[in-house]
Amino acid sequence: MKQETQWTTIFWEGWTAQALCAAAVFWPGSAALRYPAVLWPGLALAVAVPAVWAGWWMLAQRPKPLPEEVVMELSEQKATEVAAMVKTYESGHGELMTPQDILVIGADTVVACDDTILGKPRDEADAKRMLTLLSGRKHAVYTGVTFVFLDKNGRAGAHTFYEKTEVTMKPLSELEIDRYVATGEPMDKAGAYGIQGKCAIYIEGIEGDYNNVVGLPVARIYKELQKLGIDPYLW
């Protein structure tokens, strides 16, 4: 029903825009009627305007990717790239490779606050922006993890999942943000902070896996390996 309503809106508003453009072309006394060279550009404009409008409208309605979707895709990209490098290396250095199967683990982390997904800051100004957004609020940390299994015949399979942890940060003054950013610690961290570092004094609460906020949910990884029948102690 919702999709039908959207297409109805596109049709009627697009038709209105097209009618207005056409009217401007064929209105009595219009330059298009007196000068044929103007006619075809006018007709093209009458068709193009609503088409462009409809495309813009559909793009604006496209749903934003969810944080869990983002981290799972990023982790899969990382694991797949490393797995390809391993196979390339193995093809030329077979004598150095272990006879056992190989497990590649890829992981990536983002911070989500409201509808905003925060990765690593571009610069100090961006880091300050992120910390200002998180100050005095609860946010979620998502880490995506992908296993890629390699056997002697190549890629044997993959498994992807994510872990979510909620973190509450105390209200930060502008001075505290400036001092923390000046340490350089936020620059390679998702959300511009490291819970395991100097930012630990600003964390008021955590719900979930602490290691997930650090960047690797080791307990969840162990559980997922068990589900797949893999004993990490014997790997």
- Crossing angle of helices 2-26 and 36-61, rounded to 10°: 160
Q: Taking Cα atoms as reference points, which of 104, 108, 76, 78 lies closest to residue 90?
A: 104
- Residue 123 annotated among the catalytic residues of the structure: no
Rounded CA-CA distance 84/109 in Å is 22
Q: Taking Cα atoms as reference points, which of 160, 161, 141 lies closest to residue 80?
A: 160
108, 126, 151, 188: the active-site residue: 108
CA angle in degrees (0–180, nearest 5) for 95-97-101: 140
Read off the amino acid at residue 131. L
Rounded CA-CA distance 49/35 in Å is 22
For the chain, the helix, strand and coil percentages under 3-state DSSP, each to the nearest 5: 55, 20, 25
Active-site positions read 108
